[in-house]
Amino acid sequence: MLIHVDDDGIGIPPEEREHIFSAFTRLDRSRDRSTGGYGLGLAIARRVLELHGGTAKADASPLGGARFTLSWKARQ
């Protein structure tokens, strides 16, 4: 199973695309203290995917923003 989640937002710089999956990471240019969350969403999402034998990664979207790709083996 493969799911792409695309947006047309600010995007994620290539050098940050792995780092954003670390807990409590928030990139200054897209989130400040007043609007940002805890920086846990992506870390939790990746952990859930890994526990199902899958992966979660970030990339550039054809829409101009971020693309998140979630991938796992569908149960037979």
Ligand X SMILES: Nc1ncnc2c1ncn2[C@@H]1O[C@H](COP(=O)(O)OP(=O)(O)OP(=O)(O)O)[C@@H](O)[C@H]1O
41 near Mg ion, judged by CB under 5 A: yes
52 near ligand X, judged by CB under 6 A: no
Among 18, 38, 48, 50, binds ligand X (CB under 6 A): 38
Beta bridge partners of 57: 69
Residue 48 interacts with which of Mg ion, ligand X, none, CB < 5 to 8 Å by class: none
- DSSP E strand stretches across 1-76: 2-6, 55-60, 66-71
Interaction site with ligand X (CB under 6 A) = 7, 9-12, 20, 25-27, 30-31, 36-43, 65-66
